[in-house]
Structure 1
Amino acid sequence: MVELGISTFGETTPLEQTGEVYSHDERIRQLVKEIELADAVGLDVYGIGEHHREDFAVSAPEIVLAAGAVNTKQIKLTSAVSILSSMDPVRLYQQYTTIDALSNGRAEIMAGRGSFTESFPLFGYDLKDYEELFDEKLDMLLEIDKATNLKWEGKFTQSVDNKPVYPRPVQDDFPIWVATGGHVESSIKIAKLGLPIVYAIIGTAPKHFKPLVDAYRKVARNAGHSPEKTKVAVHSWGWIADDHDKAVADYFHPTKVMTDNIAKDRPHWSQMTKGQYLHSLTDAGSTIVGDPQHVAQKIIQTIETLDLDRFFLHLPIGSMPHEDVLRAIELYGKEVAPIVRNYFANKESNKA
């Protein structure tokens, strides 16, 4: 059965009605409540991304996830993503195996290169080593996961002479996913390693990722990796409200503010117009906004198009009033998820 989850960066942009900006400390406390509610309404996974910017509150997702682990029972907890290129793989592994202990086996790592680059100078890394840093650190992370004692010869990382890394995970098979924006080379590398993959689908229709997903699965299969190991997930922006038209109207402001903020630093991004926003909500785009019935149908369409194992709704992009976010999570778990799950359960039953 496909897993349904939430991803978030803990956004802190001005609210439309009041102009208020949640402080980083308040937003972080809100996230813990959101994790607990997502668990209570039966969602499968909650992911928090690492950033080092004013408009995102979370620079250390592992601490927020650890807080969320304490009062939850079922939900899986993952980074979305951990910027592996600019961190120590030993420390990353220890942090998430500690969350695995706190949650009794519900932690995961989602490693990525990082769409934003602020962490590189902050931690003393050179962007010219962008690809090599990630490749070496991913190899080191996987080596740490193989056995308690680590023997490692590093170029960009430290060399370790048969030293133990603790704690070990509660899970027998500790999940390490790799996220990508959709580069062919990245997909092939991840497939050859036999690791599950997460695609960030933001600016285009999911169908455009189908050749990439098919190639990933083919390369993984040819490399001898089982389908059970090589899972595929997608992350897309979205919002849910009781009233469809209100959801569409309310989500424009935070999406535009966040997009415009990013456009300041990225020449290939442009400030968002209302027309572009509305286009992104159609089948030609990947943003999923509306009432529960509409959101469920677009999630089903995305899952079917790519034959997904997991779907993340990034909820929200840009800041929305916290009470509205809590309501959106409630609708996702209580109304959207049952529609999606029943659809695929019936589909499997008809196959049988």
Structure 2
Amino acid sequence: MAESQAKRPFELGILTFGELTRDPVSGALPSSRQRVRETIEQAQLADQVGLDVFGVGEHHRSDFVGSAPAILLAAAAERTERIRLTSSVTVLSSEDPVRVWEQFATIDLLSGGRAEIIAGRGSYTESFPLFGYDLADYADLFREKLDLLLAIREENPLTWKGKFRAPLIDADIAPRADALPVWVGVGGSPASAVSTGRRGLPMAMALLLGPLTQHEQTAALYREAAREAGHEPGPISVNVHGYVGRTSQEARETMYPYFAQGMRENNHQRGEGMMISRSAFEAQASPGSGLLVGSSAELIEKLLAYHEVYGLNRALIQLGFGGMPQKEHLEAIERLGTEVAPVVRREVAA
């Protein structure tokens, strides 16, 4: 672990994409209004119990309510006091960086400087045809738009010219935010990690399923590229599914039916999603695999293992994926903030 990484405080938070999933027990499908209100309630509790970050991800489908994360984060800003508010992720390739900046700079003002952006290419691609972009330009779109977003952060007024949008000539882009953090979301691609390191930006890795060490090479390439470009390697985050219960068994029993339902209903581009058996789920919940599910003690142990492998500075957990009832979801948030986070922060600091 790099010495500079160890000196940074460890942050723990939660994220959601606001999926609309039919309850595997009752068969009920929550309304969009219900899910939106529950999302803000989750942010409020996360703030109250001392978690560091609350994230809302972006999807453009009728089985998610997260098509406009900035609006949900602005609502959360008015109900919270301390917690950082981030997109997780902003699909920058199909967004206008000028509008992204305006929205998140406004959230930054509303929240007293708590806004962040995690910019990504998008593992789901429904936004590309929706906003008139060609998937053949997938990589070039992201590179150009990230360059523009960073230029907006550094300079105002701005003169800029690119391939995929109209040029800017002495453009006054407002409001301004003092130091709006921009992270890059990386799914494990070596090229993405190297590019992020060369830019000197923080990196947020996503680990859906697989071994805990799955992105070890990604993190190493990121740090190597940063140093070669003359940057001190920035913070690294991991975004992962999980749930924290009173006991290890209760956590698994609670999480599995909803997680399996979400993987089947929501984890797809169009059509049928991924089927995950109970045995496969249990394997993914084992100490060497990525899911963060178990008792508070079990989550502490695995988060420390993540930190040991990657030199992590942050972990964002997608609790309750698959439409878990709000009662169980809030209970997990409270345990994460009051029982898990203080111990992990203390152990990492030591």
State if a TM-score over 0.5 links the two structures. Answer: yes
Mapped pair 1:313 → 2:339: no
SS in 2 for 1:198: strand
1:71, distance to aligned residue in structure 2 (A): 2.4
Counterpart among 69, 94, 103 of residue 111 in structure 2? 103
Give me the TM-score of the superposition, normalised by structure 1. 0.94
In 1, Cα distance between equivalents of 2:266 and 2:115: 30
The one-letter code sitting in structure 2 at the alignment partner of 1:210 is E
In 1, Cα distance between equivalents of 2:266 and 2:34: 23
Structure 1: 4+ residue segments shifted above 6 A: 266-269
Give me the TM-score of the superposition, normalised by structure 2. 0.94
Change (3 A) 1:264 1:135: closer
8 Å contact kept, 2:243–2:319: yes
Q: Which runs of 5+ in 1 are unaligned?
A: 348-352
Partner of 1:350: none
User: C-alpha offsets along residues 1-51 of structure 1, whole Å, 9 cap, x if unaligned?
Assistant: 111111111121112321111111211111111111111111111111010
Partner of 1:260: 264
User: C-alpha offsets along residues 289-347 of structure 1, whole Å, 9 cap, x if unaligned?
Assistant: 111111121111112211001111111221100111111111100001112112123x2
Partner of 1:15: 23
Mapped pair 1:88 → 2:96: yes
Partner of 2:62: 54
1:135, distance to aligned residue in structure 2 (A): 0.8
Partner of 1:212: 218
Partner of 1:184: 190
Between 1:24-33 and 1:81-90, the stretch displaced more is 24-33
Q: Could you say what the CA RMSD is over the residues aligned between the two structures, in angstroms?
A: 1.6
1:129-144 equivalences in 2 (<5 Å): 129-144=137-152
SS in 1 for 2:214: helix
Mapped pair 1:343 → 2:347: yes
8 Å contact kept, 1:15–1:319: yes
1:264-303 equivalences in 2 (<5 Å): 265=269, 270-303=274-307
Between 1:203-212 and 1:4-13, the stretch displaced more is 203-212
In 1, Cα distance between equivalents of 2:269 and 2:46: 33
In 1, Cα distance between equivalents of 2:76 and 2:209: 31
1:206, distance to aligned residue in structure 2 (A): 2.5
1:87, distance to aligned residue in structure 2 (A): 0.8
Q: Which runs of 5+ in 2 are unaligned?
A: 1-8
1:204-243 equivalences in 2 (<5 Å): 204-227=210-233, 230-243=234-247
In 2, Cα distance between equivalents of 1:288 and 1:120: 32
SS in 1 for 2:163: coil
In 1, Cα distance between equivalents of 2:300 and 2:144: 39
Partner of 1:324: 328
Q: When the two structures are aligned, how many residues end up with a matched partner? A: 342
